[in-house]
Every structure is written in structure tokens, then in C-alpha cells.
Structure 1
């Protein structure tokens, strides 16, 4: 005797060796023996042999017309043997019954299983819907295959164009477009990004990097809603003629300076900061925009501003205008450059000039300042600011050393990027040039002084600190943001609150509100401040700013690396000079491109080498190089070794190097 039975959802046939109660010992065609319970037996037959039965049953099943079988079945539940009699017109033979059962079992949209060998025909509406779904999937499969073929042929299907960003960065993995893209990439052994570049879905590697960033941080685009320019209160007129010092590309001019001779060897230096905080108020529409963005995003040749252009235009310290500003005045005794007094005011400041580094750097040098040589605007004022800046730096360095740190290195090389029509120029400029130092030192002075003002008035602010006690060196020197005053040991100041770039950084706008409260309300400032003591929302601002500012900095670094690689292509660079930063890490001399060279011979920091550039890739920003030779044992210009968590502990870094270059 032979059995046709169901086991683990599959149908099998075998010869009975023995029976014990409700169980059979069955031998399969393979020789394997298995135990079959009586409830799982669907047919008992003597012929044909089990293997032939399965072959014949499959042939029968393939020959059965499902639509006709569904019509024959009716709407009542049935057993397969009953249906077999009606379908075949006679009691079904074993291979016919088995074939019918296989067909029923493998057509779940036509027949619903109700038990062992029992089924019920699907309702007509359900069947039609299921068949329509199958047909739709077939058509989708055909379209998907067509998409894949087009992609492999180097053409981008029209339906892909509006969803390129979604496909690359937030794909619907069940969509036919993504499946086609995935299939094409698998066959071509490439990545979706590279295939999109090859087919024109993305115009360039530059656009790819931009799209990735925008999809993550600006999914709704970089545009602004319409805004009304806020009114500022009536302000007293400052009796100064202020001037700013910025790069030629700077449009958000936050800071300007003035020098007033007071007689008796005294001068009053004014540090004038754009004051959007007089027009923007916590919780209003513009504040919501600024708080969502947290900072202007910088990249070579472009930027995404924190505030709408029309608002920046209303508050930027543009020459020829009288602008609302928060001014810090320091009265100085020029005999020893001691600070006699300081005063903070909200006022309207006439901006006489916007000076540019590109015009003045070659003229305002240490040698010319020492000799009084050269002719340029505000020459005497710049000379006085230069003298004070040096005194401020010396004081910071003394304070820094009192914290147990080594003197700050001033030999760091900086690079400015200029991009026009996708052609990049990268210009070296040494940090610590007089104009840089003037801006940096006066910004540090203002940020430290205003940080103390908030602390003395009991008003919380957003402080940058470095050198907290405890932990190892890296933990100790990590720059952190707090809502109370604490030392910044790297800068050599007792407190440091970013306050001088309110058009570009949300933290500075927040601090400006707090400083204005101190100026207006004095000892009652804690009760009237925009953010009152222990305001939990201030901690939320710190957390959100930290996250956004770090992400924006990473993006800027990636885009600078991209433009460095583009520069190599422009210049057809093959053999280049580099300098060792540490171990296997080098930086090119002409551009700020960092290269890791695993396995290179050990060389001292500062060693200059010559490299053979083998290949580089603007998509993954990778570069391969080979060491040709060591050319010298020392380099005069190398980055400071005091790089803490990505930040160089220098005044320029913390003062906001965007005043030097955007």
C-alpha cells in the first residue's frame, strides 16, 4: 500500500512498511523513512508507484484550467475528492485526485484552504481584485525591467528625474524605481550615486554632496518664507565713524570698529556689533527661522544663510549707512594700554567704510606698521588697534600659561577658497597677519567682556569653555558649551560667550538678547531677560546648536576637500609637495588637502616630502598617493599640534575665522 500525504505544508508519496495504530512507517523514494500520522494521509493507493504518482499528479495539475475549476467548485466548502468527481466526470484516479489537490493548494487566490483536503472557492469580487493585483504586479515587473535596462544603457528614465534625491537618500525600497536602480547597480557592479552621475540624474559630484546635505538638513529647501522687516527702537546716535574689516566675499558684516582720541594719552575704542536682537524677538517668526537653522552654512563659493537676505541687508553693517548696533567701548591709556573703563550701549552707528582683506593685506604688514609706511584708509586707527591687539594677545598668553598650557603657536597657515563658474582658486594666507589679529583679539575681548557682564548681572548666557577639571588631556581640553561662565583655558580668558556674530550664529543672537537685557535693566536684568535663570529652553538651544554646528562644519570640511580634489584636476597635479602632520598623515603645501599614507616611513612632524598622486575620486573624496622622497627635515609653517576635538586652540578659531574667510 502507498500513501499520498501532507508533511510540513508539502505533499509527498511513499510506500507503507508498517502500521501501528494511527501511525504509518513510510519509505520514500530516496530511501528515507518517516512516520506519518493517519490524519495527514490524503490518499491510499496501490498503483502507480509513489514516484510515478507525483510525476503524473504534476502533469494533471499543470493541465487544469483554474477559471473553469473555480466555476465548477461553486460557493460551498468542498473536499478535493468531491470536486474531482464533478470535474473529471468520474471518481478520480489516484494521480488525478492528487493532481487536483496540488492545483487547489497552489491557487490560494482562487481557493481558500479550510482544512486537510478541504477548500472553498473565493468570492467573485475578491478573486477579481486579487487577479487585478497580480496583473498590476506583472505590469510593474515589466516596467521595472525596462527601467533597469535603460539605466544599464546609460539613460535615466523620465519617471526618475523628480525623485532622484529620494531614491538616493530616503528611498521607498518597495518602489519599482528603487528596485530597478538596485538591480541595475548589481549588474553593473556600481553604486546608486555613481549610476545617477553616469545617467545624468545628478549633474556632478558637487551636486551629489550638496543634495546629500540638503536632504538631511534642508529637506524643504533653503528658501525663506516671506517676512516683514522688524522695526527697531529709536536709538541714540553714536559719535563715531566706524569701519569693518572683512574678506571680499563677506555679506553678513557683523562687526566694525572705531577709534576716538580723548586727549591726555587716552583713546576710546569702539567694537560695534550688528544688532538684529533689537528687531527679532524670542518666539516670533524670524526667531523660528533662525532657531531652526542655528547657523549660516559655509562652503567654498556659496553659503546658506541663517537669516533671510532682506533681514541681513537691514542689519548688516554696510558702509554709508547708520546701523543699529550693540557697542562695547573700551577707554584705554595708551602709555601702557591699560583698560580704564568699559561701557556697553545700544545705539545707531554710522558705518563709514567696509575694508577688505583682499585690498589691504599686502599693505597692512607688521613691517609697514612698525615703520609707519604705506598709504591706506584708517591707517592711524589701524596702527592703534594693532598695538592694543598685541597687548591683548600677550595678556591672554600669560593667562593661558597660568592655566598650565604652552604658548600659542602663530605659524598656522590658512587658506581662502574662491569659486567662480566651478573654477576654484585656493589662496594661502598665514594666520596672525595684523588685520586678522586685530579682528580676532577684539572679538575675543568683546566676547569675554560681555560674558562677564552677563555673569555679573546674574543673567544666563551661552558660554564656550575649555579646560574643565577631571579626565584625561583630551577630555580636559575639549571645547564645551555651558549656560554659565567658566574659563576657556585655550584662549586664556576667564569666560567666553560668542556674541559677535548674531547675523550668522543663533547662540550669538541669544547672547545679544541677554546682553541687551543687562544694558537696559541693570540689576533687575534676571527678571526681565529673554532667557531667565534655569530656563530649560536655553539648554535645548545649546544642544540643538551643538548638533547643527557640528554637522555644518563636517559639510564644510567635505566641500573644501571636494574643491581641493577639483583643484588637483584643474592644475593637472601629479607630483606635489606635502608636509608631515603626524605619523602617516600629511597635508599638501599648496592646498589644505589631508592625505593618509599608510605604511610610509616614520618621519618627524614638519618634514617636507614629495608625493606622486595616483588617483582621486570626487564622489567618495578619496585620494591615493605614493611617497617619492623626503625633501627636507623641517617646515616653517605647520598646523599647531594642539588640536582638540577638531578645534585648534587659537584665538582665530574661537573668535570666528569667518571674519577672515567665508
Structure 2
């Protein structure tokens, strides 16, 4: 299967889910016109270009949303700065670009390529924190204690300069001692110290959350592999040390952002994950490994179980993590009033944080752009640009569209997987149950990494069960034409 076929599948899937695969001409014209806008200058914008800012992202990422820099302080604490691209400076509220972003609410990452939330002239150029470029940013300035608590924080606007665009794989291999140092270390003074201090800080931040019950999971998403423009495999895109490092920093920045808006008397958009509705299944899952969990949701107890299994069965931990993620359910957005801080129901169960607002990826997520506008209004002494009712509507729509985007991504992967499985009928695969409902029972196999429907022998199966399945049907042509019925294209039977 080539990229043209996959792109057609992705476009049709997006349209069927209420997502816009293409930008309107007016939006493209508006984005191009942003090249002519003069950079904003005023006394409230700090000049931080002299600091050793750097980014870490995927090898092929061009929409760079954040930079960071850190320094140890005399009292043993650390100062951590996270600079987030000032996307609002180039995307006017109510304009054509903003309208497209408000509909889709997210970039859609498919095996056919990326459908960006913003035109690429913005997201991969004017509002991207590229190496060697001066950019406007919103900076989250935090003081981190040795135990990982963010003891103080503030937010302000600044100009920044990315001195090194680094990649997850290279940084992770170097930190783990199995790869050479990134080449920028030799040319950017102080960069090596920055990376090592970031690694220490990330560990402290992570440890603080884990003492409160943050779940240490290890799930793998499918990464399409192409050779000469043709799909040849779906391989796991696994976590590594550098990805964890950046995630820990962003979690800290997002928490500080939520608390800042409360302190300013502003409403906000929160990212939430409720306590699991299917806690009984998690209890049963742990019991199957000889561990007794409490009868009511308890994040620290669940994380202790996960850590035990990680040590006991490293090879099987990814499958266990997937089962737990499925049972935890999906996160959602919610509007929070100006007085909300640590309120019941406003937190994130998996991250073990109470106040949490997505803010660090405004090129890719609309909630982050909305949060940025709230921050900038509060800094300017202006009223909130969104009413409580508007934020509630945005939260509901963003949750819906995130779910739709995830479905599109899965549909395109399944269509790609149907092609990859041609000629493999009758093969037996190790699998894990990822869905069990009236509409069908679904499993995920590892090579290629994809899901299919169990058509015989599914009685009694539930999410998280490990099974062996045999491939009995693949209909690649149908995968091209009937995107929302993939479960009938790759069919398995339970071999246990």
C-alpha cells in the first residue's frame, strides 16, 4: 500500500467524523499574511535570548512547541523555565485560521501523514520554536525543591532563542550510556550541563508524583514504516528516557499554569481523568497476579502493583500497561471556574495531580491555545476572553473531537494493517483483549501492531485478558472503501 491510498482513506475518515482534512483558502491566505506582521515589542516582554534554550522532540518534528532551560540555586533548589510558543500572536481569535482550529481542535496524526491543526506556514514556521530563530513565547518559571515539589512559579512573556534542536532517541541513548553525545553538545556551551540537570530535575518531579500515586505505565503506539513510499510495517513507538524527561517537565508546567490562572481569578480549561469506573476489573487483573487491591480506586496501590509487575515480567509489561490504560478510560476536558483549586473531580487520576491545564502544545491542541489566551489576558490586566459558558462548550467539543481524531488514527492504522496481513491467513498470534462490548470483542497483536475483531471463541473474554488468536479473514479492498467497519476486515478466532 502506498501513501496515496492511505491519504485517501484518512481524508474520508476525517470527513465522516466531522473533521476538516483541508484548510479553506481564506485560512491559508490569513496564515500567509501573518508573515508580514511586525514582531511585538513592549516593556512587559522579557528578553531571555541569552539563555541556553533547547528542544527535544521526534526526529521528524517541525512544529516545535516548547523549549526549556534550568539552573541550580544557592539554597539547593532549582529554577526550571519552560517556554511555550506564542501561537496566539499569529492566530487572531475569530479569524479563519482560528475557526479551523476550533473545529478540529487537534492535529491528527495518521499513518498517511499529519493533518495539522494550523496551516504549516504557522505551525512549522512562524509559530515553531526553530533552532537558530528568535521567537515570542509564554514562559512558565518554576522553582523546584529537591523532593520534586514546585514550591513557587510565575508566568510571563519573553523572547527566546532555540540553541539546539535535539531528538528523543539520540538524547535517550546518550543519557543511558549506549550512544554518542548529540553533536550540538560540542558546539553549544553549557548544553551538556543543561541536559544532565534536566534529567535530574525530571527524576525529582517524577518521584514526587509517584509518591502520590502517579501511574508508571509503558504503552507503545504504532509507528508506520515506509520504504520507497510503500508501507512495510507497523512497529511500536516506545517510550524512552528523553520522552519521559520532557513529559515530566510539561506536567509540571501544566500544573503551574492551572494554579496561576486560579491565582489571577481566571476560569480555565482543565484536563481530567476520573477515577476508573471499571476499578473492579483492575482489582481482578491484580488478583490474577496474586496482588490484592483495595475495593475502591487507589492510585498509589495500583502503582505499587504496576512496579511489582514491571520488575517481575519486563517483557510483558507493555501488554499489562495497555490493559490498565483501557480500564482507566479516556481523559476529558472540563471548564473550571476561577475559584477551582484542588477541588474534588478536577484532577487527573493517572498523573496524580489536582490542578492541570493543557498549555504546552498550542500548535497542536486548541485547548492549549485557549489557555494561552487566558494567560495573556491575565498578564495584561484584561478580562477573560472567554465566558464560563464558552469554556464549557469548548471543553465538550474538544473532548468529542479528540475522540474522533483517535478513531480516525485507528481506522487508518487498521486499513494499513489489513494490507500488511494479506498472505498471513491461518497464522497464530499472541494478543491482548482491548475491547469487549456488545459491538464485538477486539484484540491487539504485536507484529504488526494492530487490532482486529474476534469472531469465534470470544465468550467470556474481557479487557486485559491475554489470548492466542488465529487470523481467519482479511479484506484489504474493503478496508479501502468501508473505513468504519474494519473489525470485519481482520478477523481472529480464539485459539485457547
TM-score by length of 2: 0.72
Instruction: Point out the more displaced range, 450-459 or 463-472.
Output: 463-472
Deviation of residue 513 (structure 1)?
A: 0.8
Aligned residue for 2:46, secondary structure, equals: coil
Alpha carbons 2:20, 2:103 under 8 Å: kept = no
Deviation of residue 587 (structure 1)?
A: 1.8
| Aligned mates of 1:471, 1:579 — CA distance in 2 | 21
Summarize deviations over 1:64-104 as a string: whole Å, max 9, x none.
xxxxxxxxxxxxxxxxxxxxxxxxxxxxxxxxxxxxxxxxx
Aligned mate of 1:609, from 464, 468, 480: 468
Given the alignment of the two structures, is residue 528 of structure 1 paired with residue 395 of structure 2, yes or no?
no
Aligned mate of 1:586, from 430, 443, 455: 443
| Aligned mates of 1:257, 1:510 — CA distance in 2 | 21
**Partner residue, 1:487:** 347
Q: How does 1:92-491 map to 2 (within 5 A)?
A: 204=5, 207-214=8-15, 217=18, 221-225=22-26, 226-227=29-30, 228-229=33-34, 230-234=37-41, 235-238=45-48, 239-263=50-74, 265-312=76-123, 313-334=125-146, 336-365=147-176, 368=177, 374-376=180-182, 377=185, 378-400=191-213, 408-419=215-226, 421-431=229-239, 433-467=240-274, 479-484=331-336, 485=340, 486-491=346-351
Deviation of residue 478 (structure 1)?
A: 6.2
Aligned residue for 2:380, secondary structure, equals: helix
CA, structure 1 residues 267+204, in 2 after alignment: closer, same or farther (shift >3 Å)?
closer
CA, structure 1 residues 581+258, in 2 after alignment: closer, same or farther (shift >3 Å)?
same
**Partner residue, 1:599:** 457
Summarize deviations over 1:305-342 as a string: whole Å, max 9, x none.
221222221110111111111111223355x4554532
| Aligned mates of 1:579, 1:219 — CA distance in 2 | 34
Alpha carbons 2:149, 2:208 under 8 Å: kept = no
Alpha carbons 1:451, 1:497 under 8 Å: kept = yes
Q: Cα RMSD over matched residues? A: 3.4
Given the alignment of the two structures, is residue 541 of structure 1 paired with residue 399 of structure 2, yes or no?
no
Alpha carbons 2:250, 2:360 under 8 Å: kept = yes
| Aligned mates of 1:624, 1:340 — CA distance in 2 | 53
Deviation of residue 357 (structure 1)?
A: 2.6
| Aligned mates of 2:444, 2:21 — CA distance in 1 | 37
Consecutive unaligned residues in structure 1, runs of 5 or more = 1-202, 401-406, 522-526, 631-662
| Aligned mates of 2:172, 2:277 — CA distance in 1 | 43
CA, structure 1 residues 409+565, in 2 after alignment: closer, same or farther (shift >3 Å)?
farther
Summarize deviations over 1:441-464 as a string: whole Å, max 9, x none.
111111111011112211111112
Aligned residue for 1:528, secondary structure, equals: coil
Instruction: Point out the more displaced range, 598-607 or 380-389.
Output: 598-607
Alpha carbons 1:453, 1:518 under 8 Å: kept = no
Q: Which has the higher contact order (CA 8 A, sep 6+)?
A: 2
Summarize deviations over 1:265-284 as a string: whole Å, max 9, x none.
44322211111123333224
Given the alignment of the two structures, is residue 624 of structure 1 paired with residue 431 of structure 2, yes or no?
no
| Aligned mates of 2:431, 2:328 — CA distance in 1 | 29
| Aligned mates of 1:478, 1:224 — CA distance in 2 | 34
Alpha carbons 1:261, 1:268 under 8 Å: kept = yes
Alpha carbons 1:289, 1:306 under 8 Å: kept = yes
Alpha carbons 1:498, 1:508 under 8 Å: kept = yes
CA, structure 1 residues 578+206, in 2 after alignment: closer, same or farther (shift >3 Å)?
farther
| Aligned mates of 1:391, 1:208 — CA distance in 2 | 44
Aligned mate of 1:567, from 401, 420, 424: 420
CA, structure 1 residues 258+482, in 2 after alignment: closer, same or farther (shift >3 Å)?
same
Aligned residue for 1:530, secondary structure, equals: coil
**Partner residue, 1:513:** 373
Alpha carbons 1:459, 1:514 under 8 Å: kept = yes
Alpha carbons 1:297, 1:303 under 8 Å: kept = yes
Deviation of residue 288 (structure 1)?
A: 2.8
CA, structure 1 residues 464+216, in 2 after alignment: closer, same or farther (shift >3 Å)?
closer
Aligned residue for 1:427, secondary structure, equals: strand
Aligned residue for 1:498, secondary structure, equals: coil
Aligned residue for 1:319, secondary structure, equals: coil
Consecutive unaligned residues in structure 2, runs of 5 or more = 186-190, 282-326, 341-345
Aligned residue for 2:114, secondary structure, equals: strand
Deviation of residue 551 (structure 1)?
A: 1.6
Aligned residue for 1:504, secondary structure, equals: coil
Aligned residue for 1:455, secondary structure, equals: helix
**Partner residue, 1:184:** none
| Aligned mates of 1:231, 1:497 — CA distance in 2 | 30
| Aligned mates of 1:539, 1:266 — CA distance in 2 | 38
Deviation of residue 592 (structure 1)?
A: 2.6
CA, structure 1 residues 342+520, in 2 after alignment: closer, same or farther (shift >3 Å)?
same
| Aligned mates of 1:388, 1:220 — CA distance in 2 | 40
Summarize deviations over 1:40-68 as a string: whole Å, max 9, x none.
xxxxxxxxxxxxxxxxxxxxxxxxxxxxx
